[in-house]
Amino acid sequence: MAWSDHMLSALESLWRGTILLWRLISRMLYPVLGFGSRMLLFSKFWRRKPEVSDENKGLSVPEQALESVCEGQHEAAAGKRAAAFEPEPFSKRQRFEEEEEEEEDEFDSEEYRVETTDELYCGYDSTWETEQDQESSFRGSRRPAAHRYSKFSSFERAAKDMQNYRHNYPNQTRVQRWRTQSSDDKPNLNFYLGHSPTLPDGVYIHHFHDDWYGDYDTLEFVHTYIQWLFPLQEPGMNYEATPLTKEEVEDFLTSSTAKENLLKSYKLMLDFYGIELFDEKTGEVRRARNWRDRFNNLDSHTHNNLRITRILKCLGTLGYRHYQAPLVQFFLEETLVKRQLPRVRESVLNYFLFAVLDKGQRRKLIKFAFLKYDRKDEFVWCPKKIQMQWSDYKRDAHDLSPSVECLSPQYETQL
């Protein structure tokens, strides 16, 4: 056993040394190699393996070969590194968010309190309040009917990740051992301030905004930039990009330069998906002129579902949480009402919806999704009791859509 421990320690040291050596070599080569040469040098390594996750599962092998290993929720290869992020069910989780004075709405009534024995109750989803005397009974209650729903199983797996995000990664300090940068090094912040480039590509933030805007092939097939443009407090598959630290988040939120650059990055990616930011104040978005072509690309390259989830999470973390609900509302309307993007729809319901930090907005969006869902007997994204409250609800289509005013920050309620 002692010999095995020594071997593991030696291998870990060798691996870390190799990474540091590679970074030194890469930095020495940046002034010599052009971006095109660097992209060719790294593209085979970073596109070597297709990603398989709940958001792009079900693709054929040739299709998977085109998908990225570099974006998304807790990918399989990163799962071991991120094991310490595993969240507890909501009933056992401490609330880490600041409680603000909440607006009274229909969802605060007793009719919207759910029981943990509900057929579609998910213990990792804090959207709905439970009966107080049942807060600790989640693990002991079994719901056989729920396990017949493959959709519910997918939702429950996604809920673990999204709950951990919405509660600001309370166990983040448990994975500090995976970070190699010094305590005063802030690579994500420095990148957004224009002080340092991405790794391994060596691109500065202003070059992204000036040279990559509208370069759709590069944005589609290069997979190492997204972790830098939209950093998160969780590990990804680009080993040369590091998770955000809470110190970086605090500094980012006080930097007008960093926030302005993040807004430019958001507009760049919206354009890539055929969307434009119509109102910077409210976050309202709409179709761009080239939406048909870009929607076709989005629907045929499902790793972009992972990227959009990352974008939504990043917006909520770095000062643009009021942009989350309008973007999710847009995708709900496109997928459920206009019947566009069929291969994006499940990600909208499993991930995009539950990235919205504000509970009041999230509830309104779920209600809209339920009322517009074509097979209500297959809707699994809220408890059965709440679905019954809505089942006889009738209102014209204009009233069903949450208005931009209703989704503005003054109406926000906390997780």
Q: Is the pLDDT of residue 128 over 70?
A: yes
Q: Is the pLDDT of residue 186 over 70?
A: yes
Q: How far apart are CA 85 and CA 165, in angstroms?
A: 10
Structure confidence by residue, pLDDT tens digits, 41-89: 344 434 433 344 566 655 543 444 444 444 444 443 444 444 344 444 4
Mean pLDDT of 232-240: 90
Helices and strands (DSSP H and E) totals, the chain: 19, 2
Q: Is the pLDDT of residue 260 over 70?
A: yes
Residue 13 pLDDT: 64
Residue 183 pLDDT: 47
Instruction: Indicate the pLDDT class of residue 20, thresholds 50, 70 and 90.
Output: low
Residue 391 pLDDT: 86
Instruction: Indicate the pLDDT class of residue 201, thresholds 50, 70 and 90.
Output: very high
| Choice between 85 and 375, residue whose per-residue pLDDT is larger | 375
Residue 132 pLDDT: 62
81-95, 194-208, 297-311, 317-331: segment of lowest average pLDDT: 81-95
Nearest to 230 by CA among 314, 169, 308, 307: 314
**Long-range CB contacts (within 8 A, 24+) of 267-276:** 268/208, 268/209, 268/212, 268/213, 268/219, 268/229, 269/219, 269/229, 269/230, 269/307, 269/311, 271/213, 271/214, 272/216, 272/219, 272/220, 273/298, 273/304, 273/308, 274/298, 275/327, 275/330
Residue 111 pLDDT: 74
Residue 24 pLDDT: 58
Mean pLDDT of 10-28: 62
Q: Which residues of 118-132 are buried (b: 16+ CB within 10 A; e: fewer)?
A: bbbbbbbbbbbebee
Q: Provide the residue ranges of all domains of the chain, joining segments of one domain with +.
A: 1-32, 38-411
Residue 397 pLDDT: 45
Residue 105 pLDDT: 63
Residue 236 pLDDT: 83
CB 351 within 8 A of CB 56: no
What token pair was written down for 415? 């997780």
Nearest to 226 by CA among 255, 169, 182, 268: 268
Instruction: Indicate the pLDDT class of residue 392, thresholds 50, 70 and 90.
Output: low
Q: Is the pLDDT of residue 338 over 80?
A: yes
Residue 11 pLDDT: 64
5-14, 161-170, 288-297, 354-363: segment of lowest average pLDDT: 5-14
Residue 108 pLDDT: 65
Mean pLDDT of 1-18: 61
Per DSSP, the residues of 10-32 read HHHHHHHHHHHHHHHHHHHHTTT
Mean pLDDT of 397-415: 50
**Residue type present at position 147:** H
CB 341 within 8 A of CB 353: no
Nearest to 341 by CA among 279, 402, 275, 399: 275
Q: How far apart are CA 150 and CA 153, in angstroms?
A: 5
Mean pLDDT of 326-342: 99
CB 70 within 8 A of CB 224: yes
What token pair was written down for 112? 């919207």
Give the dihedral sign, CA 358/360/365/370. positive
CB 186 within 8 A of CB 249: no
Structure confidence by residue, pLDDT tens digits, 139-149: 444 554 544 56
Q: What percent of the chain has pLDDT over 70?
A: 60
Q: How far apart are CA 359 and CA 162, in angstroms?
A: 13
Q: Is the pLDDT of residue 216 over 70?
A: yes
Residue 93 pLDDT: 43
